[in-house]
Every structure is written in C-alpha cells, then in structure tokens.
Amino acid sequence: MKNAISIGLLGFGTVGQGVAKILHQHQQDLNHKLGAEAIIKRVLIKDKNKERITTLDPSVFTVDIDEILNDPSIDIIVEVMGGIQEAEAAIEAALKSGKQVVTANKDVMAESGNELMKLADEQKCDLFYEASVAGGIPIIRTLQDGLASDRITSLMGIVNGTTNFILTKMKKENMTYDDALAEATRLGYAEADPSADVDGLDAARKMVILSSLAYSTVVDLADVRVRGMKEIRDGDLELAAQFGYTMKMLGSSKKDEAGIEVAVEPVLLPDSHPLASVNNEFNAVYIHGDAVGETMLYGPGAGSLPTATSVVSDIMAACRNLQLGVNGKRGHAPQHERVLKPDSHCDANYFYRLLIKDEVGVLARITNIFSHQNASLQSVMQHPSETGDHAELILLTHRISRQQHLNVIGKLEGIAEIISHYRVEGEESA
C-alpha cells in the first residue's frame, strides 16, 4: 500500500480551486479514511503569471499538460478544465498511460463517455464522473451502487440550476423571462451566453449520462427530445397554477417493454409533487425503481465546493482502489441494446392554451378534433380576450400518446392559434 497518492489536476478554475481547498482542509480526515495522503503534485493552468490565493506551492503549477500526463509518479488525473476536445484528449491520454481518471466534464461524458469507458476497461483503469451531473448530489454513485440491485423504470430531474432559478423568479416574484434571466446572469447562475441552459442542451447532456447508467445501455444526445424554455409565454405559469400545476424545466426518461424515451422540456408538475417545491438554483433527481419505489435526491447542483465535493469523493474512490489493487475491475460495458420508444408509446397528459374566435361552433370543432384522435379531455376552461371577438381556451387531456398529441397539434393549426402547449408529468390520470 502507498503512503501517498499523487494527483495531477487539470484546471484551476472554480471547481479546481474547490478541489485543492477540500484536499488541504480535510487532509487529516482523508488520510484516516484512505491510509494514505492524497497530494496534488502538479496543476495545469493557462497563465503562470496570474495571481492566485492558494495554499499550493507555486512550483506545482504548469502550463504544459504533457508535464502532468507523462509524469509516471502521478497516479490520478483530475480533469476539471472544461471544454470538449482538449479535455477528451487529456482523458484518453491519461487512460492510455495507465492512470486513474476523475472528471467533472458532462459534455465529454455525454458525447464520448461510452468510448472512454471502453478504453478504461481495456486499460484496467478507473474512470469516475460523479461531478458531471447535479454538482454535489451523489446521483451517479446512487445509480451505480445504492440502487444497483434494483431495476430503474424512470427518472426525472431538475438538473440545470439556471433554468430552475429563472422559473422560480417568474413564479414567485412575477418576473418576466428576460428580467429573471438578467438576474440569473448578475448573480453568476447564467453564463454570458445562456443558450446551452435555456435551450435545454446542458440538461440533455446530463440526461444522456443518467439514462445510459440507469438502464445499462448507450443513449446518444440525438436520442433526447429537447425543447427549450424560450417558448414559454406570458401568463402560462399563472394559468398552470389555476389547474394546480408548477412549471419546471425537466429532464425525464422512462423505460418499459416498448423501449426508452428521454426528453428535456418545460413541463407541468402537480403542486404536490416533490420536484415542484425545488426552487432557485437547486437540483433534484426523482427516481422510480421496481423494488425501492420512489426516491429523490436533492441539493446544490453547481458551485465550487458542492461540485468539488463530488470530485474529491471520486478521488477517494480511486485512491481506495489503488490501495486495494482493484482499479478498473468494475467494468462499464452496457447490458442492453438501445431501443427507443415510438411516439405512439410515449404517453402523458397534455395542456393546451389556444386563442380562438369567440363564435358559435368553434368549441365544438375543436373538441371534435380531440375526439377523432381518441384524445379524452378532462378539463376545459374559456377566458374572454381583451378584444372581445376572441377567447382563450385552456384544455387538459387525460393520458394520450405523443403521436396523438402531434396529430391534434396539426389539426388545431387550421382553426386556432396555439399559444402554448406542455406535457404534464407526475400524475397518472386515466
């Protein structure tokens, strides 16, 4: 067994500094749990002249990644530099050199995780990625270990703090989308270019990782049905509230005998659902398993120390395996082939907000469209418009297939303006 385990840290931004801080402050505890010191030997940075407040000796910093990847004394590579191409190349090189790897990179794991895990298996190395999804929430380890004996049938998650913060402000403080986004940007929850968040790409990448792991298969980014939050219209949240719903930007996936469906989109949840009460920048993942039933993990989805906590937990797992000589023994090969559900087997309740002419026969024509699609309506509400010659019609269906929903949308476009429409999750109305 080693007395000290050497770490090469790629990146010293928000998360990298958090990792260094935890390793320094908790070293005595970690030493007790591991039977060895976990020491940062080298750190990759972009600018050597930049002033940094850190307990690390200046000599550990380098701008040359090869000094770290080619150092035979370094046992574990920790990739927290972000980006895709350079990070993926670094992970691949580290594995090929026989080093254990910890990454927080959701983009790389969503795009190339399957290939990298195959490489890790071939090289008999560990590849840990807990921090790639939901920051400080231990969702990866829960799926891998805590629920390993169960069969997961569905999971839903608020896995993007920026969009959840925006929707919370819109609902709780009646902010407009633009004002809520500006507030999220000011507080640092949103990037200067927030498109990956608000368009759903960030959450989609996380759902690729979670779904692949939950169902032991390979889910690709192209398999995720993605709809961003820019389509949310003024008044949608208030109308949803009248029906007892809260809107969330939700990642969801389900698996049954028909296959797998994965989506990221704004959905309506019953106010009583546990995810409906997750506010601001917090994340949560709601899991259903055959044996465990329903369970939820909740916590901070981002931030220096929460995310670094997950990274350091992975470092500890790699250290333990090194001490026991069992690195790369887990195996990552998927058990099942990917089978995607057709739209005809993707069922949900649907909420429609329509603008119609306020005249005799229009309502009958619209309800007839639903009837012809065998789409049963459970609620109908009509509001007069400000002009007087139009009205808003709010419709809520019982469970119908996505194919039925798409057929209804196609027929409605001829006689009504479709202001908005949303899937309803979290209830099992017949």
pLDDT per position as a tens digit, 332-388: 888 899 999 999 999 999 999 999 988 888 889 999 999 999 999 999 998 877 667
The answer to whether position 47 is within a domain reads yes
Q: Same domain, yes or no, for 206 and 227? A: yes
CATH number, position 368: 3.30.70.260
Q: What confidence score (pLDDT) does residue 387 get?
A: 65
Last residue of a domain, one of 300, 335, 361: 300
Per-residue pLDDT, averaged over 138-160, amounts to 95
Q: Same domain, yes or no, for 413 and 400? A: yes
Q: Same domain, yes or no, for 52 and 110? A: yes
Q: Which residue has the tokens 């899991």?
A: 287
The answer to whether position 329 is within a domain reads no
Q: Same domain, yes or no, for 125 and 176? A: no
The answer to whether position 394 is within a domain reads yes
The whole-model pTM stands at: 0.94
CATH number, position 270: 3.30.360.10
Indicate if the pLDDT at residue 249 is higher than 60.
yes
Q: Same domain, yes or no, for 418 and 270? A: no
Q: What confidence score (pLDDT) does residue 428 get?
A: 58
Helix axes 304-324, 27-34, angle to 10 degrees: 30
Per-residue pLDDT, averaged over 243-255, amounts to 97
Per-residue pLDDT, averaged over 171-176, amounts to 94
Q: Same domain, yes or no, for 47 and 71? A: yes
Last residue of a domain, one of 324, 359, 380: 324
Report, in angstroms and rounded to the nearest whole number, the Rg of the chain calculated over CA atoms.
24
Q: What confidence score (pLDDT) does residue 429 get?
A: 40
Q: Which residues contact 318 (CB under 8 A, 6 or more apart)?
A: 75, 76, 100, 102, 126, 128, 327
CA angle 37/38/40 to nearest 5° reads: 130
pLDDT per position as a tens digit, 281-302: 999 999 999 999 999 999 998 8
Q: Same domain, yes or no, for 125 and 179? A: no
Q: What confidence score (pLDDT) does residue 430 get?
A: 35
Bigger pLDDT: 394 vs 51? 394
The answer to whether position 334 is within a domain reads no
CATH number, position 20: 3.40.50.720
Per-residue pLDDT, averaged over 207-216, amounts to 96
pLDDT per position as a tens digit, 212-248: 999 999 999 999 999 999 999 999 999 999 999 999 9
Last residue of a domain, one of 271, 290, 324: 324
The answer to whether position 333 is within a domain reads no
Which residue in 321, 308, 307, 306 sits closest to 34, CA to CA?
321
Q: Same domain, yes or no, for 73 and 174? A: no
Q: How many domains does the chain have?
A: 3
Q: Same domain, yes or no, for 176 and 232? A: yes
46 among known catalytic residues: no
Per-residue pLDDT, averaged over 74-88, amounts to 96
Q: Same domain, yes or no, for 147 and 123? A: no
The answer to whether position 407 is within a domain reads yes
Q: Same domain, yes or no, for 120 and 26? A: yes
Q: What confidence score (pLDDT) does residue 224 get?
A: 98
The answer to whether position 248 is within a domain reads yes
Q: Same domain, yes or no, for 10 and 82? A: yes
Per-residue pLDDT, averaged over 267-275, amounts to 97
pLDDT per position as a tens digit, 379-422: 999 887 766 788 899 999 999 999 999 999 999 988 889 999 99
Per-residue pLDDT, averaged over 82-99, amounts to 97
3-state secondary structure of 158: strand
Q: What confidence score (pLDDT) does residue 342 get?
A: 96
Given the residues 169, 171, 206, 248, the one annotated as active site: 206
Q: Which domain holds residue 179?
A: 139-300
Average pLDDT, the chain: 94
The answer to whether position 27 is within a domain reads yes
The answer to whether 363 touches 394, Cβ cutoff 8 Å, is no
